């Protein structure tokens, strides 16, 4: 049983992302949506924390429409940009959906 | 696959409503089924028929109504959350002797049991939080 997580808050504004990455399991996926995509601006220790989750076997995605709305592009090779259809597909692939907000 | 969507954000105060609307549209385009849309907490503000935003802005209550009508979706609004926030259908208007009813025709007021039932009959439940 794997879980799809969504985070919709900026890590510069909320602990949501870290609450999620502290609990996320290998094989789970995380989709950054809405202000959650600001995670791509993380540097230093915070960036390492997210990269560590990826290294442990979590796949991380960012919703393209939300990146564009905020003038961001996916500059991390580790984070794949997806569209709304791919978001739906990921929800089908995982057995549960946990939203962090 | 059957989905239940829970919408907790009001239009304009968070991105939740627009995210949920986009997700709903994408799911339908990908031939997924929507068991129920459940509007809860501030999400009930999406269901008013009286919103009148400027013409050059997205009208989320109208966009929801159109999507629900076009795909014949089941859209339930938590009655306790709605009454508190001044979203009433005609029966509640009469019961509380208010001047007007504003719940859009595409929505129905009901209880949390409808969320539990929809979740039990869906493969996936996704929450769009405020």
Which CATH number goes with the domain that contains A96? 3.40.1260.10
At residue A93's C-alpha, the angle toward residues B23 and B65, to 5°, is 20
Q: Which residue is associated with the tokens 């929507």?
A: B34
Chain B contact for A97 (CB, 8 A cutoff)? yes
Q: What is the mean pLDDT of residues B66-80?
A: 98
Number of domains in chain A: 1
CA atoms lying within 13 Å on the CB side of residue A70: 20
Task: Please identify among residues 26-55 of chain B the ones whose CB lies closer than 8 Å to any CB of chain A.
Answer: 26-27, 29-30, 32
ipTM over 0.85: yes
Q: What is the pTM of this model?
A: 0.97
CATH topology of domain B2-128: Hypothetical Protein Ychn; Chain: A, (3.40.1260)
Supply A47's token pair.
């960036």
Checking A12-18 for CB contacts under 8 A at 24+ apart, the result is A12/A38, A12/A41, A13/A38, A16/A100, A16/A101, A17/A50, A17/A100, A18/A49
Given this model, what pLDDT does residue B32 score?
98
Given this model, what pLDDT does residue A75 score?
83
Computed over every residue of chain A, the mean pLDDT equals: 96
String of DSSP letters for A57-90: T-EEEEEHHHHHHTT-----TTEEEE-HHHHHHH
Residue ranges making up the domain that contains A43: 3-100
* Span A30-71, pLDDT tens digits: 999 999 999 999 999 999 999 999 999 999 999 999 999 999
Which of B16, B19, B32 lies at the smallest CB-CB distance from A88?
B32
H or E element, residue A27: none
Q: At B90, is the secondary structure helix, strand, or coil?
A: helix
């Amino acid at each position: 049983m794997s879980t799809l997580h969504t985070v919709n808050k900026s890590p510069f504004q909320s602990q949501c992302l870290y609450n999620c990455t502290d609990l996320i399991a290998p094989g789970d996926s995380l989709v950054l949506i809405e202000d959650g995509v600001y995670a791509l601006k993380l540097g230093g220790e915070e960036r390492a924390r997210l990269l560590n989750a990826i290294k442990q076997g979590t796949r991380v995605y960012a919703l393209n429409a939300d990146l564009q709305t905020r003038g961001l592009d996916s500059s991390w090779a580790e984070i794949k940009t997806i569209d709304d259809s791919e978001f739906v597909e990921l929800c089908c692939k995982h057995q549960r959906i946990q939203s962090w907000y | 696959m059957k989905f239940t969507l829970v919408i907790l954000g009001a239009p304009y105060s968070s991105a939740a409503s627009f995210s949920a609307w986009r997700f709903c549209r994408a799911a339908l385009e990908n031939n997924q089924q929507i068991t129920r849309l459940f509007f809860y907490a501030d999400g009930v503000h999406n269901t008013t028929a009286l919103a009148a935003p400027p013409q050059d802005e997205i009208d989320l209550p109208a966009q929801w109504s159109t999507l629900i009508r076009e795909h014949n979706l089941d859209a339930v609004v938590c009655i306790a959350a709605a009454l508190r926030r001044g979203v009433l259908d005609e029966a509640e208007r009469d019961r509380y002797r208010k001047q007007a009813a504003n719940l859009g025709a595409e929505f129905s007021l009901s209880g949390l049991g409808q969320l539990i039932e929809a979740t039990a009959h869906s493969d996936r439940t996704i929450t769009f939080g405020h």
